Structure 1
Amino acid sequence: MKTQQTNSPWHPAPDTVICIGAGRGEALDAYFPLPVARFLLVEPSPANLPALRRLARQDKRIEVLPYAISGAATPPAHGMLHILNNTTFNSLQSSGQLHELLPGLRETGMTEVALLGIEALIEKAALPAKGDHVLMLEALGDSAAILRRLIDSALIDHFRHVTLRASPDLLFRNDETAETCLQFLQEAGYELRGQEDTDICLTRYYLTQSGLIKEFRAMRARADETDRRLAEQTAALDRAQAEIARLQSASATELEALQARLADMEVRAKRAEGAFKDRDVRMQ
């Protein structure tokens, strides 16, 4: 059942909030009054950065990082950002169904921006391992790739809460729908706590780590590790048995060769003995 999110979904207030695709900070207005220790606002658009830097001057908890975040394993140092007449939809990706859903939307240009991989961002953030952290994914067009990289690298476990802004439609090329992104997160151990419509084609989803699901994942990981070790031991035993069989076969072959050689020597000895007897007879 769809629920509307009216209060902060983060209880208690987190230590760190990382917002990827922070825009001008509007999505965080309700959270700045909370006793959050640190806000990292990641935004590549030159038009949006001045507003974020003003916020940072007013609030020492805020740090602005002027990057576009990539889910690629080794992203280039720079990329091209598509600029639209509604900066909410600025993206590294070219549009898919976006213009069909919003006919008045148009691209006004492209600009080169600095790129940072999601793993490099987490390293730069230096998140305490035992902290209570929030990831806000507001970057349209790249959320699916970022989530895949976070989940594959297990870095998603840094975040107790994830906020995802996504669409049921494929707004951008090389992206996934909200349903697919939510499936990624639910398989990674997150439960959907609420959602709200933020635009005609966008919804913001609030997810929290499930202790039971996380425990189940840990148990399954331990079981998988046990199976892996058992398979290794079984393979090692098979190799040892094969080596024993080879040695036994080699020993049997060597024994047969020795027996054949001994039999040949006995035949030769008898022949030599007969030859000596014949010689003795002739000498008499």
Structure 2
Amino acid sequence: MHQLDHLADVARNAVRIGHELIKTTRPHTVTEKTDRDTYTEVDVRIEREIRAYLAETTPEIGFIGEEEGRSDGAADSKYVWGLDPIDGTSNFVHGVPLSAVSLALMQDDRTVVAAISLPYMELHYSATLGGGAFVNGKRLETSKTVELSKSIVAIGDYALGEGSAEKNRQRIALTAALAAQVERVRMFGSAAHDFVWLAEGRIDGAIVLSNKELDLAAGILIAREAGAVVMDTSGAQHTRASAHTVAAAPGVADQLLSLVQSVV
């Protein structure tokens, strides 16, 4: 078996650990990281259990988790696992069934393996670099939509914490611009949902006015392997250094980018 195929199996098995915990566990402790940004003991438990599984199955690969940071060997590894144990923690805390487990295998400035699980829907997404993207074993392909007026576009959460008022003026202006031109605007509260549903053709575009690697790395690979165009707001290919994230089905990518650039 090709090395990436084997590592994709490992990634799929890893996110299933979190998948089962999200389905069967409710949070008892909610802790604030920053202004209105929280984590729960379930986030920490998922991260620790997946970290332990990956340390056992791929001890040569480093690990970075959203809640507890880097493993000792992460800086020296050729590859590094990056985990968001619950993408959509606020949804999870409030009982909104839009949460995901998101795991990426990163090499330098690129993601080579991705696995995302949506526990409440029994949807399991994965991709390898150059190997396509799949959901529950079925190959993914973006929508064929070519008109922005017939598109559903997801946007990322509004900003929190220091500087959020200024950031949100831009986000609200973008929301208004989208509302005037697209069929519907959606805010799912989980970047993983945004990108896997773009990959699956459920939506036609996704905009996140930030670039948090652990939130986005897995979803971006899955979207790209399904045919999506993923850019910075400059129109350049999205990378780890990008400030923002604009992704779309090919037929509406240029139209969506132009709209975003008119605001941002």
TM-score bucket of the superposed structures, by smaller chain: under 0.3
Query: Greater CA radius of gyration, 1 or 2?
Result: 1
Scaled by the length of structure 1, the TM-score of the pair is: 0.25
Scaled by the length of structure 2, the TM-score of the pair is: 0.26
